[in-house]
Amino acid sequence: MELLFTSGETFTDVEFPATSSGLTTSDPSALGDRNALVAGENLLNILYFVIGALGLAGNGLVIAVILNVSLMRKQVTNTYIINQSCVDAAASVFLILTTCFQDNGRVLSPDSLADRFYCVWWLTKSPLWGIMLSSSLNLIAITLERYVAVVHPIAYKAAYSRPRVLASIAVIWILGPVFNMIYSGPATVVQNGGCNVFGNWPSLTANRVAGIYLFTLQYVIPAAMFIYCYIKIALALRSRLTVGGQKETAMKKARRNITVTLGVVNLSFMICWGINQIYFFMFNVGYPMDFQGAFYHFTVILLYCNCCVNPFIYIIQYDQFKRAVKRLVFRKKISVAPEEEMMESVGTKETQASGVRSSTTQPSG
């Protein structure tokens, strides 16, 4: 059975051969294997659907909560968090759709534009993987925003004007799907009445080079940026002295809280994506890997969980968000302070204060 490389799942010439129509056998063990494969496929589809539903509901809640608080929706950090939730909600929708509408086994024609589009765009799950790549790009944008806010606060206000933030969000939405189509389009063809997904490589070497390139771009570079930026952020926060009494302490606490929260979000990305990406990296450098076993499917489930995990992190860790949830749920004027006032100062008051601090101490970096 031919194994075809993809950034998230494995596609073979027949994904579940034991469930193909017209299969007849008198061997009880073969029938047992067939039933086990069908049960496994159904279980995976249920899990994917549940993850998608949780992602859609949870990220929808995050969007509603932040938009419900005026000061929160004006903050740059929360603007990126809203976008993160929009991207993850879109990924959840496509996870549900690609689970519900899979390959029906009909014969495809290479002369049909509709069949080629169906093969290259839908059977590759290009909408899902493109949006998930946009999710990774938005996490990079959030990390850089926190890095500049904490390590280079004087430059923050100029670097993160409203037009620039909105432009970066537009680029994030465009780059993920475009990059995914650039990779998946040439490598996927209608062939022998079926869809040869990610199998149209000129050589095994080209396949492996593409796989290593994707691993570097999709995981190594983001992970390296997360680690570097948060090390610099931690050093900068540690080096600063408390200035201005209780008000400054509250601002520092709010800034630290959102920074730690987003650090946990980045860590969850590294965990959810890491095992699956390392698994494929090992395959692409020549190790024999099992793409039909339980462990591989576990890595795919874990990767999909990245679509729905962030709302739980906000509920547990993000103090301002927790107060905003109470305000929305109980419909009462519950104060989001001190964070709603203190966080606003990241782009304004902190810039002014950093000028005073710079005469006595400089942040790391």
Burial category of 121 from C-beta neighbours within 10 Å (exposed 0-12, middle 13-18, buried 19 and up): middle
Give the pLDDT confidence score for residue 99 in this predicted structure: 92
DSSP one-letter code for 216: I
Question: What length is written for the chain?
Answer: 365
pLDDT reading at 192 higher than 50: yes
Question: Is this model's pTM higher than 0.85 or not?
Answer: no
Helices and strands: H and E segment counts in the chain: 15, 4
Mean pLDDT, to the nearest integer, of 162-172?
A: 96
Mean pLDDT, to the nearest integer, of 127-153?
A: 94
Query: What digits encode the pLDDT tens for the residues 254-307?
Result: 788 888 999 999 999 999 999 999 998 888 777 888 888 889 999 999 999 999
Give the pLDDT confidence score for residue 8 in this predicted structure: 37
Mean pLDDT, to the nearest integer, of 336-359?
A: 46
- Domains in the chain, start-ordered, CATH in brackets? 3-16+29-357 (1.20.1070.10)
Local confidence band at 136 (pLDDT 50, 70, 90 cut-offs): very high
Give the pLDDT confidence score for residue 249 in this predicted structure: 67
Question: For 245, what's the count of Cα atoms within 13 Å in the CB-facing half-sphere?
Answer: 1
Decide if 148 contacts 232 (C-beta within 8 A). no
CA distance 8 to 156: 36
Query: What digits encode the pLDDT tens for the residues 104-126?
Result: 888 888 888 998 889 988 988 99
Tokens at residue 84, please? 């993160």
CA distance 16 to 258: 45
Give the pLDDT confidence score for residue 180 in this predicted structure: 84
Give the pLDDT confidence score for residue 25 in this predicted structure: 43
CA distance 117 to 200: 16
CA distance 253 to 340: 12
Q: Which of 275-279, 311-315, 325-329 has the lowest mean pLDDT?
A: 325-329
66-75, 107-116, 234-243, 269-278: which is most confident: 269-278
Of 85 and 237, the one with more pLDDT? 85
